[in-house]
């Protein structure tokens, strides 16, 4: 049966949102396969069948969560970086904001990473969209002399890789890590490299 794409009533919209939030919690903590539809609807305080009024499958909610996460992350970083005085400071601010975001919504972060194994297209889209915007920023900064010339696309992916991995290691795995220190060290490496 096809998903009801737009709830027609206020109640419908609320239920859909309840279920989406419950899915975020359950899939984010248990993982995609361990979280059952029954878990999700129980947590959302609705009947099992209600799920299928709003989503056509478990993959379907999952995809929606990944999409939502993409919008959130982009909006968040964009805002965090908005009033940086220059591109280098924007890098520092962006990295810091991302790590804070991971700390605040570890479950959504986990969902994006798991997407690689559940919905590759959504996963690729998430990072590719991000990388495109990121590379464009780097190109602009390079043009105005704020950065040393270089391949903006490769740089964008490398910088994303740094953020992802530091988030995993120092935020998700380590309750006690000094985030500011990690940001400072990473930033210094990004800015000046490791050569003496």
Partner DNA sequence: ATAAAACATGAATACTGATTCATATTTCAA
Partner DNA sequence: TTGAAATATGAATCAGTATTCATGTTTTAT
**Residue ranges binding a copy of itself (CB under 8 A):** 31-33, 88, 91, 113-114, 116-117, 124, 127, 131, 138, 145-148, 150-151, 154-155, 157-158, 160-166, 169-170, 173, 181-182, 185-186, 188-196
Measured from the CB of residue 5, what is the shortest distance to a copy of itself in angstroms?
28
Beta strands in 60-182 (DSSP E): none
x/- binding map, residues 1-40, to DNA, per CB under 7 A? x--x--xxxxxx--x-----------------xxxxxx--
Count of residues that bind DNA according to CB under 7 A: 27
Single out the residue of 135, 3, 129 nearest to residue 72, CA to CA.
129
- What lies within 8 Å, CB to CB, of 64 at 6+ separation is 20, 55
x/- binding map, residues 110-129, to DNA, per CB under 7 A? --------------------
Query: Could you tell which of DNA, a copy of itself, none binds residue 195, using a CB distance below 5 to 8 A set by kind?
Result: a copy of itself
Single out the residue of 103, 14, 84 nearest to residue 54, CA to CA.
14
- Of residues 54-113, those binding DNA (CB under 7 A): 56-59
Nearer to a copy of itself, 45 or 124 (CB): 124
Measured from the CB of residue 10, what is the shortest distance to DNA in angstroms?
5
Query: Could you tell which of a copy of itself, DNA, none binds residue 88, using a CB distance below 5 to 8 A set by kind?
Result: a copy of itself
Tokens of 3: 């998903």
CA–CA separation, 4 and 54 (whole Å): 5
C-alpha dist (Å) from residue 194 to 1, 61, 77, 157, 185: 57, 43, 26, 19, 11
Would you tell me the crossing angle of helices 120-143 and 87-104 to the nearest 10 degrees?
Answer: 160
């Amino acid at each position: 049966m096809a998903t009801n794409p737009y709830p027609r009533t206020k109640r419908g919209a609320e239920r859909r949102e309840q279920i989406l939030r419950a899915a975020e919690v359950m899939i984010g903590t248990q993982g995609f396969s361990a979280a059952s539809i029954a878990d999700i609807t129980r947590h959302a305080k609705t009947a099992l069948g209600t799920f299928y009024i709003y989503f056509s499958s478990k993959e379907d909610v999952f995809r929606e969560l990944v999409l939502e996460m993409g919008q959130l992350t982009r909006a968040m970083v964009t805002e965090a970086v908005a009033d940086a005085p220059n591109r280098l400071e924007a890098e520092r601010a962006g990295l810091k904001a991302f790590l804070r975001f991971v700390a605040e919504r570890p479950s959504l972060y986990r969902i994006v990473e798991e997407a690689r194994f559940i919905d590759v297209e959504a996963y690729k889209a998430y990072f590719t969209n991000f990388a495109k915007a990121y590379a464009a920023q780097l190109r602009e900064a390079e043009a105005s002399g704020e950065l040393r010339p270089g391949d903006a696309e490769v740089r964008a992916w490398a910088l994303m890789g740094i953020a992802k991995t530091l988030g995993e290691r120092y935020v998700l795995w380590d309750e006690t890590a000094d985030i500011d220190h990690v940001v400072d060290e990473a930033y210094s490496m990004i800015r000046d490299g490791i050569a003496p």
